[in-house]
Amino acid sequence: RDQDLGDTNSWQIREDAMMRNFIFFRSLYPEGKFFGQLGSEHIFQSECFTYSEMPVTRLANLMNGEDSPVAGQVCSLFYIYSNDKEDYFHYDAIDQTRDRFYSLNGEDSPFKEKNYLMTQQSVRNNKGGTCDYFQKLVVLEDIGECEKYAP
């Protein structure tokens, strides 16, 4: 976890650097479609407070910004693990008894209008829906921890 990254500036420097890298690679492949597998701290498309009380504009939010060449084209997949409980997510709101994929942004989806999955503590005053943060949800049941890399 990146809980001890320091001040807001450290978090934002990291997000901005990833955005610059994306812009560079997109300039090489302007017609390309891209997929990035990133941790949840990078995929939220609206301001929220998870591990940090610091306001950070995350990568997916930057990518959807009005100055971005891919604004409006970003789809965030949020991965959760049934045996890893984060403070900012309502785990009891979904079935975690087996691996699942949920598309939250389908036609007439209630997740577009109301937040069912992010805790009030994490979203604060945002009155939007779950899809303001992510549009797809992957539930992986009973995943074991991986070994930490130690060079």
Query: Within a 10 A sphere around the Cβ of 82, how many other Cβ atoms?
Result: 18
Q: What are the residues facing 139 on neighbouring strands?
A: 80, 100
At 1 the pLDDT is 40
Flag residues of the chain having pLDDT under 70: 1-8, 50-53, 82-88, 120-121, 125
Instruction: Give the pTM.
Output: 0.80
Looking at residue 40, what is its pLDDT? 81
Q: 48: how many CB neighbours lie within 10 A of its CB?
A: 24
The sign of the CA dihedral 105, 81, 122, 64 is: negative
Residues 2-30: tens digit of each pLDDT: 445 555 578 889 999 999 999 999 999 99
Instruction: Tell which residue, 30, 31, 58, 35, has the closest CA to residue 46.
Output: 58
